[in-house]
Amino acid sequence: MRTRAFVANPHSAIFRKNAAFLTTVFVGAFAFEMAFDTATDAVWDRINRGRQWKDIKHKFMAPPEEDE
């Protein structure tokens, strides 16, 4: 019953107290930022595959020399 009341009337659970509202806003913004950054990085890496330093550095970096 309590869960149904929470879904039906979020005002009484979240928006009534300022601290709970601000916590909800900041946690939601943080989660959205992490998801958005991960998604845009994946899209960027896919579009630019083979053109980024992490993809081509093995062509330009000399292997470490071994000392005898």
Give residue limits of the domains in the chain.
23-56
Q: Which pLDDT value is given to residue 34?
A: 99
Cβ-contact 32, 38 below 8 angstroms: no
Q: Which pLDDT value is given to residue 13?
A: 72
Q: Which two tokens stand for residue 9?
A: 């009337």
Q: What share of the chain is helix, strand, coil (3-state, %, to 5)?
A: 75, 0, 25
Residue 44 pLDDT > 90 = yes
Which of left, alpha, beta for 60 (phi over 0: left; psi -120 to 50: alpha)?
alpha
> What mean pLDDT is predicted for residues 41-63?
92
State how far the Cα of 53 lies from the Cα of 59, in Å rounded to an integer: 10
Q: Which pLDDT value is given to residue 35?
A: 99
